[in-house]
Amino acid sequence: MRIKVANQARCIGCFSCMMACARTYYKTVSLKNSAIDIQTSGGIESAYVAVVCHACIEPPCAKVCPTGALVKRKGGGVVFHKDLCTGCEQCVGACLVGAIHMDGDAKAIVCKHCGICISFCPHEVLEMRQVGDADDAHTKTSCEG
Amino acid sequence: MSNKPSVAGLANVLYIDLTNETSKVVERQDLHDKYLGGTGVATMLMHEEFKEGTDALDPESPIVLSIGPLSGIFPCCTKVVAMFRSPLTGEFGESHAGGRLAMAMRFAGYSSIVITGRAKRPVYLSIYNNDIRFKDASSIWGLSSTTNIGKILRNVEPSAGKRSIIRIGTAGENRIRYANVNVDTYRHFGRLGLGAVFGAKNLKAIVISGDGEIEVPSKSAYSKIYKEIFTNIVETDLMEKYHNLGTTENILPLNELSGLPTRNLQQTFFEYAETISGENFADNYLVRKISCAHCPIGCIHIAMLKTSFGPSHEYEVKHISYDYELVYALGTNLGILTPEGVLELIDRCEQYGVDIISIGVVLAWATEMSMQKRSTTEETKGVLLKWGDVKNYLRAIDLIVESPNEFYSALAKGVVFASKKYGGEDFAIHAGGLEIPGYHTGVGNLVGLTVGVRHSHLDNGGYSIDQKAFKNNLSDEEIVDMLIFEDDIRGVLTSLAICLFARGIYTYDAIIEALATIGIERSEEELIELGRDIFMKKYELKRKFGFDLDDVTFPSRFFETASTNGMIDEARVQNVLSMYKKRRWGADRT
């Protein structure tokens, strides 16, 4: 299963998803530690863009990880072994989507596709999908997800 | 009561000295322990920083921006309180804005920012965590559009999407006394002229962001209370109206109740209310709703204005945020018949950065002066104002901001100043020197606006009390008690910088639970007492600024136009006012 940005244009930019993600996996309250990132594409006047892991079948981030911290997950995406992460940031560069960034301890922040963000989205922007679903290719999304 | 919060970094005050281009950070746990944050802490900082006798536009006149302890941590705690001496009324200035500023201040690590001095050249402040820079703003000073200021700064500053950009337009630069500060394009520090104070300080803009983290004592307790509050917001109907039609939902009901000021409050219903109703805007103009950072409601309603400018299907398209007060001030109160007209006027004001309620009332007063032939065409530079005439109103807005002669300079100083100079005080509709918001509902509204610390409908919601009185016949004593109750609880809510639209969510119980998760223990009694204390401290400030409730006068228009509760009797208003004073301050003050 993976998170799908199904209805990008419905996003109101409230950041509830980001707060939920960061709160779930970190001891602190923040925006920075969220694996999903809500960006603006030219200020609040223009549309929001949700950047989140695509759960690639052959994840480039895992291919470049020198320590085995990122391991290909069955059914798409990666499993992240935080203790093995040395903060080399190679995965950040390898991810074309821009879905990986580093936390305050120089460890990668990687989406687990747990879906907590979905449960806090007030506008059904995000959905849970089976990787490779037929319907996956025909969604209303623009440049991501 | 003064349990120390166990969360670090929630009491940092950033002091900015524009004259010397220096800054320092001081942890003011003392103030936050007692006053929580927001309006409470801002009031105390103002007491410390304001030196008696300092003019509103003097370089030394301070600006305070404050958020609350829940900001960035709980949903809907999205407001920032600005406090200053108002250049419009000369007295207490307080204005609240949403957008992304509260979130940005929280994660940059500041609960308050105090700004004093005057920069030697136009500057903007760039704040990223503890990196504070004073940057040259000469090349954007004089730029005609506040939207473009945002676009330019966005390209040269970091943290896309998580930062806040607040800026003034040419109205602020020209010190129009009711110039506003634009916050993230669609929100504002609207009322009482903060924009002119920025202008007088040579401060064009502030760009702020940060990537801080906040450690709460118990993550599980926090997550549990967060979820309860979040669920209440999105799954009950407590905030539904703000999301659905937004504040313009009020146009039709207030019209029906005869409480909607129309054509400078010559009447309280608008014959064309349907055309500019929230329903019509939503059905035919609304294209998008967005939210303040960390609020799942999305009450910011954006309309599309599509205007033809050529024969071959040439269109220009603008996205404009609209709200109830704007549709009143630049709609009903000027007799504007179409949504397009209202949107065009809103957009013009937005680009200059002026408070729309104030300029709407000023224009309405000037229209009556013009129609009664009490202003000359030389004074108005040939602009003949009449109800519904969008083109001439656009021209008049340009001229007010430009202030090319004495007449327009007077209009730029507000309706009280202009009417003192040129007459027409009877129909200069203001309360406590501030142009009135869109309600003429009865005694509760009139007294509420008068006694309210910032003479705003949001101080105590008198208009809402009148609507209850209309249904249930409240006694004057009950009205006074309700005003005092609202004054005080709103003091608590705004000390936490909670959006007042979420006041149904953040009951005393919810506030107590939320505060407990960040280590602040308060009882309901303590919170009520805090609200009262803050109100009193604000009145101390008001007296320092020269305000005396005993000196208040009313334009006769208030007593000549029927309200929701019928004609308002001036003697009754005076009586309710005395009752309020007696209950607030005891017999000796009446």
Contact with chain A for residue B444, Cβ under 8 A: no
Query: Would you call A39 and B161 a contact, using CB atoms and an 8 Å cutoff?
Result: yes
What does the pLDDT read at residue B7?
Answer: 76
The mean per-residue pLDDT over the stretch B334-356 comes to 98
Q: How many domains does chain B have?
A: 3
- Confidence label for B280 from pLDDT (cuts 50, 70 and 90): very high
Say if B266 falls within a structural domain: yes
A17 neighbors A34 (Cβ within 8 angstroms) = yes
Q: Which residues of A touch B (CB under 8 A)?
A: 12-16, 19, 23-24, 26-33, 37-40, 42-45, 104, 120, 122-123
Query: Residue B450 sits in a domain of what CATH number?
Result: 1.10.599.10
Say if B258 falls within a structural domain: yes
Higher model confidence: residue B241 or residue B311?
B311
* Domain interval for residue B304: 249-409
B34 neighbors B133 (Cβ within 8 angstroms) = no
The mean per-residue pLDDT over the stretch A66-85 comes to 95
Give the H or E element holding residue B361.
Answer: helix B356-371
Q: State whether B200 and B276 are in the same domain.
A: no
Q: Out of A66-80, A131-145, B430-444, B480-494, which region has the weakest mean confidence (pLDDT)?
A: A131-145
Query: For residue B319, which residues of chain A lie inside 8 Å, CB to CB?
Result: 45
Contact with chain A for residue B103, Cβ under 8 A: yes
Question: B409, B427, B459: which is the final residue of a domain?
Answer: B409
Between B99, B222, B298, which is nearest A14 by CB? B298
Most B CBs within 10 A among A10, A11, A14, A36, hence the mutation to make, goes to A14
Q: State whether B397 and B290 are in the same domain.
A: yes
Higher model confidence: residue A142 or residue A21?
A21
Say if B256 falls within a structural domain: yes
The mean per-residue pLDDT over the stretch B550-563 comes to 97
Query: Would you call B185 and A13 a contact, using CB atoms and an 8 Å cutoff?
Result: no
Q: State whether B47 and B104 are in the same domain.
A: yes
Query: For residue B103, which residues of chain A lie inside 8 Å, CB to CB?
Result: 15, 31
Helix ranges restricted to H, B101-158: 101-108, 146-156
What does the pLDDT read at residue A144?
Answer: 40
Query: Residue B89 sits in a domain of what CATH number?
Result: 3.60.9.10
Query: Would you call A14 and B295 a contact, using CB atoms and an 8 Å cutoff?
Result: yes
Give ∠ CA B109-A35-A70 in degrees, rounded to 5.
125
Query: Would you call B291 and A43 a contact, using CB atoms and an 8 Å cutoff?
Result: no
Shortest CA distance to B177 belongs to which of B390, B433, B449, B517?
B433
What does the pLDDT read at residue A65?
Answer: 98
pLDDT tens-place string over residues B119-136? 999 999 999 999 999 999
Distance from C-alpha of B310 to C-alpha of B313, rounded to nearest angstrom: 6
Say if B277 falls within a structural domain: yes
**Distance between start and end Cα atoms, chain A:** 13
Q: State whether B403 and B449 are in the same domain.
A: no
Structural domains of chain A in order of their starting residue, each with its CATH number: 1-52+115-132 (3.30.70), 55-110 (3.30.70.20)
Q: State whether B253 and B315 are in the same domain.
A: yes
Query: For residue A32, which residues of chain B lie inside 8 Å, CB to CB?
Result: 107, 211-213
Query: Would you call A23 and B223 a contact, using CB atoms and an 8 Å cutoff?
Result: yes
Distance from the B150 Cα atom to the nearest Cα atom in chain A, whole angstroms: 8
Query: Would you call A31 and B162 a contact, using CB atoms and an 8 Å cutoff?
Result: yes
What does the pLDDT read at residue B461?
Answer: 97
pLDDT tens-place string over residues B458-508? 999 999 999 999 999 999 999 999 999 999 999 999 999 999 999 999 999
Q: State whether B128 and B270 are in the same domain.
A: no
Does residue B195 carry a pLDDT above 70? Answer: yes
Give the H or E element holding residue B197.
Answer: helix B194-200
Tokens read off for B497 = 């910088």
The mean per-residue pLDDT over the stretch B429-442 comes to 98
What does the pLDDT read at residue A131?
Answer: 72
Distance from C-alpha of B245 to C-alpha of B279, rounded to nearest angstrom: 7
Between B107, B160, B298, which is nearest A30 by CB? B107
Q: State whether B330 and B403 are in the same domain.
A: yes
Report CA torsion sign: B228, B99, B346, B355. Answer: positive
Higher model confidence: residue B236 or residue B186?
B186
Query: Residue B267 sits in a domain of what CATH number?
Result: 1.10.569.10
What does the pLDDT read at residue A133?
Answer: 59
Distance from the B216 Cα atom to the nearest Cα atom in chain A, whole angstroms: 7
Query: Would you call A16 and B294 a contact, using CB atoms and an 8 Å cutoff?
Result: yes
Question: B388, B409, B430: which is the final residue of a domain?
Answer: B409
Contact with chain A for residue B552, Cβ under 8 A: no
Query: For residue A23, which residues of chain B lie inside 8 Å, CB to CB?
Result: 219, 222-223, 226
pLDDT tens-place string over residues A88-102? 999 999 999 999 999
Query: Would you call B185 and A40 a contact, using CB atoms and an 8 Å cutoff?
Result: no
Query: For residue A40, which residues of chain B lie inside 8 Å, CB to CB?
Result: 160-161
Long-range contacts of A121-124 (CB under 8 A, 24+ apart): A121/A16, A121/A17, A122/A12, A122/A14, A122/A16, A122/B234, A122/B296, A122/B297, A122/B298, A123/A7, A123/A10, A123/A11, A123/A12, A123/B298, A124/A6, A124/A7, A124/A10
What does the pLDDT read at residue B590?
Answer: 42
What does the pLDDT read at residue B589?
Answer: 55
Q: State whether B274 and B399 are in the same domain.
A: yes
pLDDT tens-place string over residues B196-218? 999 999 999 999 999 999 999 99
Say if B360 falls within a structural domain: yes
Tokens read off for B38 = 């927001």
Contact with chain A for residue B501, Cβ under 8 A: no
Q: State whether B269 and B134 are in the same domain.
A: no
Shortest CA distance to A56 belongs to which of A119, A144, A140?
A144
Does residue B385 carry a pLDDT above 60? Answer: yes
Query: Would you call A29 and B72 a contact, using CB atoms and an 8 Å cutoff?
Result: yes
Tokens read off for B458 = 């949001």
Most A CBs within 10 A among B162, B163, B184, hence the mutation to make, goes to B162
Does residue B2 carry a pLDDT above 70? Answer: no
Q: State whether B119 and B265 are in the same domain.
A: no
Contact with chain A for residue B161, Cβ under 8 A: yes
Nearest 5°: phi and psi at B192? 80, 10
Say if B128 falls within a structural domain: yes
Give the H or E element holding residue A78.
Answer: strand A78-80
Distance from C-alpha of B80 to C-alpha of B304, rounded to nearest angstrom: 28
- Confidence label for B406 from pLDDT (cuts 50, 70 and 90): very high
Q: State whether B404 and B488 are in the same domain.
A: no
Q: State whether B368 and B496 are in the same domain.
A: no
Between A16, A38, A45, which is nearest B319 by CB? A45
Question: B355, B387, B409: which is the final residue of a domain?
Answer: B409
3-state secondary structure B9-67: CCCEEEEEECCCCEEEEEECHHHHHHHCCHHHHHHHHHHHHCCCCCCCCCCCCCEEEEC
What does the pLDDT read at residue A139?
Answer: 40
Say if B321 falls within a structural domain: yes
Shortest CA distance to B449 belongs to which of B428, B441, B459, B440?
B459
What does the pLDDT read at residue A134?
Answer: 46
pLDDT tens-place string over residues A47-58? 899 999 999 999
Does residue B233 carry a pLDDT above 90? Answer: yes
The mean per-residue pLDDT over the stretch B516-538 comes to 97
Distance from C-alpha of B230 to C-alpha of B216, rounded to nearest angstrom: 18
Share of chain B above pLDDT 90, in %: 94
Q: Which residue bears the tokens 């801002």?
A: B42
Distance from the B149 Cα atom to the nearest Cα atom in chain A, whole angstroms: 11
